[in-house]
Copies of this chain bind each other. A is one copy, B any other.
Protein backbone atom coordinates (compact mmCIF):
# COMPACT_ATOMS: atom_id res chain seq x y z
CA UNK A 1 0.00 0.00 0.00
CA UNK A 2 2.03 2.92 -1.32
CA UNK A 3 1.25 6.43 -0.11
CA UNK A 4 2.00 8.23 -3.35
CA UNK A 5 -0.29 5.81 -5.12
CA UNK A 6 -3.02 6.44 -2.59
CA UNK A 7 -2.78 10.19 -2.92
CA UNK A 8 -2.84 9.79 -6.68
CA UNK A 9 -6.06 7.83 -6.44
CA UNK A 10 -7.53 10.41 -4.16
CA UNK A 11 -6.70 13.22 -6.55
CA UNK A 12 -8.28 11.24 -9.34
CA UNK A 13 -11.41 10.79 -7.27
CA UNK A 14 -11.64 14.52 -6.68
CA UNK A 15 -10.57 15.79 -10.08
CA UNK A 16 -12.10 13.18 -12.30
CA UNK A 17 -9.52 12.90 -15.05
CA UNK A 18 -5.95 11.76 -15.42
CA UNK A 19 -5.04 14.94 -17.22
CA UNK A 20 -6.40 17.06 -14.37
CA UNK A 21 -4.45 15.03 -11.82
CA UNK A 22 -1.32 15.39 -13.91
CA UNK A 23 -1.69 19.15 -14.05
CA UNK A 24 -2.38 19.43 -10.35
CA UNK A 25 0.65 17.34 -9.47
CA UNK A 26 2.96 18.91 -12.04
CA UNK A 27 3.45 15.73 -14.01
CA UNK A 28 2.52 14.38 -17.41
CA UNK A 29 -0.61 12.29 -17.98
CA UNK A 30 1.75 9.52 -19.01
CA UNK A 31 3.34 9.36 -15.58
CA UNK A 32 -0.03 9.33 -13.84
CA UNK A 33 -1.32 6.61 -16.10
CA UNK A 34 1.72 4.46 -15.49
CA UNK A 35 1.48 4.81 -11.74
CA UNK A 36 -2.18 3.90 -11.81
CA UNK A 37 -1.27 0.81 -13.75
CA UNK A 38 1.43 -0.35 -11.36
CA UNK A 39 -0.89 0.36 -8.46
CA UNK A 40 -3.56 -1.89 -9.90
CA UNK A 41 -1.02 -4.57 -10.64
CA UNK A 42 0.15 -4.49 -7.03
CA UNK A 43 -3.36 -4.51 -5.62
CA UNK A 44 -4.59 -7.14 -8.03
CA UNK A 45 -7.85 -5.48 -9.00
CA UNK A 46 -8.98 -2.71 -11.35
CA UNK A 47 -9.39 0.71 -9.74
CA UNK A 48 -10.33 2.72 -12.82
CA UNK A 49 -12.30 1.93 -15.92
CA UNK A 50 -12.68 3.76 -19.18
CA UNK A 51 -15.78 5.84 -19.43
CA UNK A 52 -16.32 7.73 -22.60
CA UNK A 53 -13.15 9.50 -23.55
CA UNK A 54 -11.91 9.55 -19.98
CA UNK A 55 -11.81 7.27 -16.99
CA UNK A 56 -13.78 6.86 -13.80
CA UNK A 57 -13.13 5.06 -10.56
CA UNK A 58 -14.56 1.64 -9.92
CA UNK A 59 -16.28 1.12 -6.59
CA UNK A 60 -13.04 -0.45 -5.41
CA UNK A 61 -11.24 2.69 -6.42
CA UNK A 62 -13.67 4.94 -4.60
CA UNK A 63 -13.40 2.84 -1.46
CA UNK A 64 -9.63 3.14 -1.42
CA UNK A 65 -9.72 6.82 -2.26
CA UNK A 66 -11.77 7.49 0.85
CA UNK A 67 -9.22 5.68 3.01
CA UNK A 68 -6.49 7.67 1.30
CA UNK A 69 -7.84 10.89 2.82
CA UNK A 70 -7.11 9.61 6.31
CA UNK A 71 -3.58 8.68 5.32
CA UNK A 72 -2.97 12.13 3.87
CA UNK A 73 -4.39 13.70 7.02
CA UNK A 74 -2.13 11.66 9.28
CA UNK A 75 0.84 12.68 7.17
CA UNK A 76 -0.14 16.32 7.34
CA UNK A 77 -0.46 16.03 11.08
CA UNK A 78 3.05 14.61 11.27
CA UNK A 79 4.33 17.54 9.24
CA UNK A 80 2.43 19.93 11.50
CA UNK A 81 3.88 18.30 14.60
CA UNK A 82 7.30 18.82 13.11
CA UNK A 83 6.66 22.45 12.15
CA UNK A 84 5.23 23.07 15.60
CA UNK A 85 8.35 21.58 17.12
CA UNK A 86 10.60 23.80 15.09
CA UNK A 87 8.30 26.78 15.45
CA UNK A 88 8.66 27.43 11.74
CA UNK A 89 5.95 27.74 9.16
CA UNK A 90 6.33 25.57 6.10
CA UNK A 91 5.80 27.11 2.74
CA UNK A 92 2.86 28.91 1.27
CA UNK A 93 -0.85 29.09 1.97
CA UNK A 94 -3.33 29.61 -0.85
CA UNK A 95 -6.35 31.49 0.37
CA UNK A 96 -9.46 32.04 -1.72
CA UNK A 97 -12.19 34.42 -0.56
CA UNK A 98 -15.34 35.78 -2.07
CA UNK A 99 -15.05 39.53 -2.60
CA UNK A 100 -16.78 40.99 0.42
CA UNK A 101 -15.06 38.49 2.70
CA UNK A 102 -11.82 39.76 1.26
CA UNK A 103 -12.89 43.34 1.86
CA UNK A 104 -13.80 42.61 5.48
CA UNK A 105 -11.27 40.01 6.53
CA UNK A 106 -8.12 40.52 4.49
CA UNK A 107 -7.03 43.89 5.90
CA UNK A 108 -7.40 42.59 9.43
CA UNK A 109 -5.75 39.28 8.56
CA UNK A 110 -2.72 40.81 6.90
CA UNK A 111 -2.25 43.11 9.89
CA UNK A 112 -1.43 40.08 12.05
CA UNK A 113 2.17 39.96 10.99
CA UNK A 114 3.27 37.94 13.96
CA UNK A 115 0.90 35.13 13.00
CA UNK A 116 1.93 35.17 9.37
CA UNK A 117 5.67 35.61 9.68
CA UNK A 118 7.45 33.18 7.43
CA UNK A 119 4.28 32.24 5.60
CA UNK A 120 3.84 33.17 1.98
CA UNK A 121 0.14 33.96 1.81
CA UNK A 122 -1.23 33.93 -1.71
CA UNK A 123 -4.74 35.32 -1.93
CA UNK A 124 -7.30 35.06 -4.67
CA UNK A 125 -10.90 36.27 -4.88
CA UNK A 126 -13.66 34.26 -6.49
CA UNK A 127 -17.34 34.98 -6.72
CA UNK A 128 -19.16 31.70 -7.35
CA UNK A 129 -22.42 29.93 -6.66
CA UNK A 130 -22.72 28.45 -3.19
CA UNK A 131 -22.32 24.89 -4.37
CA UNK A 132 -19.14 25.73 -6.28
CA UNK A 133 -17.11 26.68 -3.22
CA UNK A 134 -16.35 23.09 -2.24
CA UNK A 135 -14.63 22.37 -5.55
CA UNK A 136 -12.22 25.26 -4.95
CA UNK A 137 -10.63 23.36 -2.07
CA UNK A 138 -8.96 21.10 -4.63
CA UNK A 139 -6.45 23.83 -5.41
CA UNK A 140 -6.65 26.26 -2.49
CA UNK A 141 -5.67 25.57 1.08
CA UNK A 142 -8.47 27.66 2.58
CA UNK A 143 -11.67 28.70 0.84
CA UNK A 144 -13.76 31.32 2.59
CA UNK A 145 -17.30 30.57 1.48
CA UNK A 146 -20.69 31.91 2.48
CA UNK A 147 -24.18 30.48 2.58
CA UNK A 148 -27.58 31.87 3.52
CA UNK A 149 -29.55 28.67 4.03
CA UNK A 150 -29.03 25.47 5.98
CA UNK A 151 -27.59 23.06 5.45
CA UNK A 152 -24.74 24.39 3.33
CA UNK A 153 -24.13 22.30 0.23
CA UNK A 154 -20.73 21.06 1.41
CA UNK A 155 -22.21 19.06 4.30
CA UNK A 156 -21.28 15.45 3.88
CA UNK A 157 -18.44 16.21 1.50
CA UNK A 158 -15.70 15.26 3.97
CA UNK A 159 -14.40 18.81 4.07
CA UNK A 160 -13.29 20.55 7.22
CA UNK A 161 -15.56 23.56 7.77
CA UNK A 162 -14.74 26.22 10.35
CA UNK A 163 -17.43 28.87 10.99
CA UNK A 164 -16.12 32.42 10.88
CA UNK A 165 -19.02 34.77 11.41
CA UNK A 166 -22.68 35.47 10.77
CA UNK A 167 -23.43 38.69 8.98
CA UNK A 168 -26.95 40.19 8.88
CA UNK A 169 -28.39 40.92 5.44
CA UNK A 170 -30.27 44.16 5.14
CA UNK A 171 -32.46 45.86 2.56
CA UNK A 172 -30.42 48.41 0.61
CA UNK A 173 -32.33 51.54 -0.37
CA UNK A 174 -31.42 54.83 -2.01
CA UNK A 175 -31.16 57.34 0.80
CA UNK A 176 -34.03 59.38 -0.65
CA UNK A 177 -36.35 56.36 -0.81
CA UNK A 178 -39.57 56.71 1.23
CA UNK A 179 -38.79 53.52 3.15
CA UNK A 180 -35.48 55.00 4.28
CA UNK A 181 -37.45 56.96 6.83
CA UNK A 182 -38.34 53.75 8.65
CA UNK A 183 -35.88 51.88 10.86
CA UNK A 184 -36.76 48.43 9.50
CA UNK A 185 -38.31 46.89 6.41
CA UNK A 186 -40.83 44.05 6.23
CA UNK A 187 -41.35 41.92 3.13
CA UNK A 188 -44.73 43.59 2.80
CA UNK A 189 -43.08 47.06 2.80
CA UNK A 190 -41.05 46.25 -0.28
CA UNK A 191 -43.86 44.66 -2.27
CA UNK A 192 -43.81 45.85 -5.85
CA UNK A 193 -40.27 47.19 -5.70
CA UNK A 194 -37.81 46.63 -8.52
CA UNK A 195 -34.85 44.55 -7.39
CA UNK A 196 -31.19 44.41 -8.19
CA UNK A 197 -30.37 40.77 -7.64
CA UNK A 198 -27.54 38.31 -8.10
CA UNK A 199 -27.24 35.49 -10.66
CA UNK A 200 -29.29 32.37 -10.03
CA UNK A 201 -27.72 30.11 -7.46
CA UNK A 202 -25.71 32.84 -5.79
CA UNK A 203 -26.21 33.05 -2.05
CA UNK A 204 -28.59 36.03 -1.90
CA UNK A 205 -30.75 34.93 -4.77
CA UNK A 206 -32.98 32.54 -2.90
CA UNK A 207 -33.39 35.03 -0.08
CA UNK A 208 -34.85 37.65 -2.42
CA UNK A 209 -37.30 35.06 -3.73
CA UNK A 210 -38.28 34.26 -0.16
CA UNK A 211 -39.06 37.91 0.52
CA UNK A 212 -41.42 37.80 -2.44
CA UNK A 213 -43.06 34.66 -1.08
CA UNK A 214 -43.65 36.28 2.30
CA UNK A 215 -45.12 39.36 0.65
CA UNK A 216 -47.41 37.14 -1.39
CA UNK A 217 -46.11 38.47 -4.71
CA UNK A 218 -43.09 37.38 -6.80
CA UNK A 219 -40.27 39.90 -6.80
CA UNK A 220 -39.24 41.68 -9.96
CA UNK A 221 -35.51 41.37 -10.50
CA UNK A 222 -34.50 43.92 -13.09
CA UNK A 223 -30.77 43.22 -13.04
CA UNK A 224 -28.58 40.37 -11.84
CA UNK A 225 -25.01 41.24 -10.90
CA UNK A 226 -22.27 39.73 -8.78
CA UNK A 227 -20.29 42.70 -7.56
CA UNK A 228 -21.74 44.50 -4.56
CA UNK A 229 -20.09 47.74 -5.63
CA UNK A 230 -22.07 47.71 -8.86
CA UNK A 231 -25.25 46.79 -7.02
CA UNK A 232 -24.64 49.61 -4.60
CA UNK A 233 -24.18 52.09 -7.45
CA UNK A 234 -27.39 50.92 -9.10
CA UNK A 235 -29.35 51.17 -5.87
CA UNK A 236 -27.97 54.64 -5.16
CA UNK A 237 -28.98 55.72 -8.64
CA UNK A 238 -32.54 54.57 -8.00
CA UNK A 239 -32.60 51.60 -10.38
CA UNK A 240 -33.99 49.36 -7.70
CA UNK A 241 -33.48 48.08 -4.20
CA UNK A 242 -31.42 45.15 -3.14
CA UNK A 243 -30.13 42.97 -0.36
CA UNK A 244 -26.67 43.81 0.92
CA UNK A 245 -24.52 42.48 3.76
CA UNK A 246 -24.35 44.84 6.72
CA UNK A 247 -20.70 44.79 7.74
CA UNK A 248 -19.31 44.95 4.22
CA UNK A 249 -21.59 47.84 3.37
CA UNK A 250 -20.86 49.73 6.57
CA UNK A 251 -17.28 50.03 5.34
CA UNK A 252 -18.32 52.31 2.47
CA UNK A 253 -20.01 55.40 3.91
CA UNK A 254 -21.25 58.18 1.70
CA UNK A 255 -22.40 55.75 -0.93
CA UNK A 256 -25.88 57.15 -1.18
CA UNK A 257 -27.29 53.86 0.04
CA UNK A 258 -28.87 53.13 3.40
CA UNK A 259 -29.45 49.74 4.98
CA UNK A 260 -32.57 48.73 6.86
CA UNK A 261 -32.87 45.41 8.72
CA UNK A 262 -35.41 43.00 7.31
CA UNK A 263 -38.15 41.95 9.69
CA UNK A 264 -40.22 38.82 9.42
CA UNK A 265 -37.43 36.45 8.44
CA UNK A 266 -33.95 35.63 9.63
CA UNK A 267 -31.80 37.25 7.00
CA UNK A 268 -28.14 36.55 7.44
CA UNK A 269 -25.28 34.78 5.78
CA UNK A 270 -22.62 32.67 7.37
CA UNK A 271 -19.00 32.81 6.37
CA UNK A 272 -17.15 29.56 6.64
CA UNK A 273 -13.59 28.47 6.00
CA UNK A 274 -13.52 25.27 3.95
CA UNK A 275 -10.49 23.00 3.72
CA UNK A 276 -9.48 19.53 2.72
CA UNK A 277 -8.91 17.74 6.03
CA UNK A 278 -5.24 17.08 5.31
CA UNK A 279 -4.57 20.69 4.43
CA UNK A 280 -6.37 21.81 7.58
CA UNK A 281 -3.68 20.03 9.58
CA UNK A 282 -0.78 22.06 8.23
CA UNK A 283 0.66 24.43 10.75
CA UNK A 284 0.83 27.36 8.36
CA UNK A 285 -2.78 26.77 7.36
CA UNK A 286 -3.85 26.65 10.97
CA UNK A 287 -2.04 29.93 11.58
CA UNK A 288 -3.87 31.65 8.74
CA UNK A 289 -7.13 30.12 9.87
CA UNK A 290 -6.56 31.46 13.33
CA UNK A 291 -5.97 34.89 11.85
CA UNK A 292 -9.26 34.62 9.99
CA UNK A 293 -11.27 33.64 13.05
CA UNK A 294 -9.70 36.48 15.03
CA UNK A 295 -10.47 38.93 12.26
CA UNK A 296 -14.05 37.69 12.17
CA UNK A 297 -14.35 38.12 15.92
CA UNK A 298 -13.15 41.69 15.62
CA UNK A 299 -15.87 42.43 13.10
CA UNK A 300 -18.73 41.01 15.12
CA UNK A 301 -17.46 42.50 18.37
CA UNK A 302 -19.96 45.09 19.57
CA UNK A 303 -22.69 44.02 17.16
CA UNK A 304 -25.51 41.76 18.26
CA UNK A 305 -28.40 41.88 15.79
Most chain B CB atoms below 10 A, which of A1, A60, A64, A77: A1
A64-108 interface code vs B (CB 8 A; 1 in, 0 out): 101110110111011101100110000000000000000000000
Complex partner residue of A1 from B70, B79, B85, CB under 8 angstroms = B79
**Are B1 and A78 interface neighbours, CB within 8 A?**
yes
Q: How many copies does the complex hold?
A: 2
Given known contacts A71-B74, A73-B74, A74-B71, A1 and B63 CB-to-CB distance under 8 angstroms: no
**Which residue on chain B has the smallest CB distance to residue A72?**
B74
In the bound complex, what is the Cα–Cα distance between A77 and B44 (angstroms)? 18
Given known contacts A74-B71, A74-B74, A75-B71, A64 and B81 CB-to-CB distance under 8 angstroms: yes
List 18 interface pairs A-B (beta carbons < 8 Å), by A numbering.
A1-B79, A1-B82, A43-B82, A45-B86, A60-B82, A60-B85, A60-B86, A63-B82, A63-B85, A64-B78, A64-B81, A64-B85, A66-B81, A67-B74, A67-B78, A67-B82, A70-B74, A73-B74
User: What number of A residues sit within 8 Å (CB to CB) of B?
Assistant: 24
| A18 at the binding interface (Cβ < 8 Å) | no
Knowing that A3-B75, A71-B74 are A-B contacts, what are 17 other residue pairs whose CB atoms are under 8 Å apart, sorted by A's residue number? A1-B82, A6-B78, A45-B86, A60-B82, A60-B85, A60-B86, A63-B82, A64-B78, A64-B85, A67-B74, A67-B77, A67-B78, A67-B82, A68-B78, A70-B74, A71-B71, A71-B75
Chain B hits for A3, CB < 8 A: 3, 75
**Are A71 and B78 interface neighbours, CB within 8 A?**
yes
Chain B hits for A81, CB < 8 A: 63-64, 66-67
A29-56 interface code vs B (CB 8 A; 1 in, 0 out): 0000000000000011100000000000
In the bound complex, what is the Cα–Cα distance between A68 and B79 (angstroms)? 10
In the bound complex, what is the Cα–Cα distance between A1 and B77 (angstroms)? 10
Chain B hits for A63, CB < 8 A: 81-82, 85
In the bound complex, what is the Cα–Cα distance between A85 and B86 (angstroms)? 40
**Which residue on chain B has the smallest CB distance to residue A70?**
B74
CB distance from A51 to the nearest CB of B (A): 20
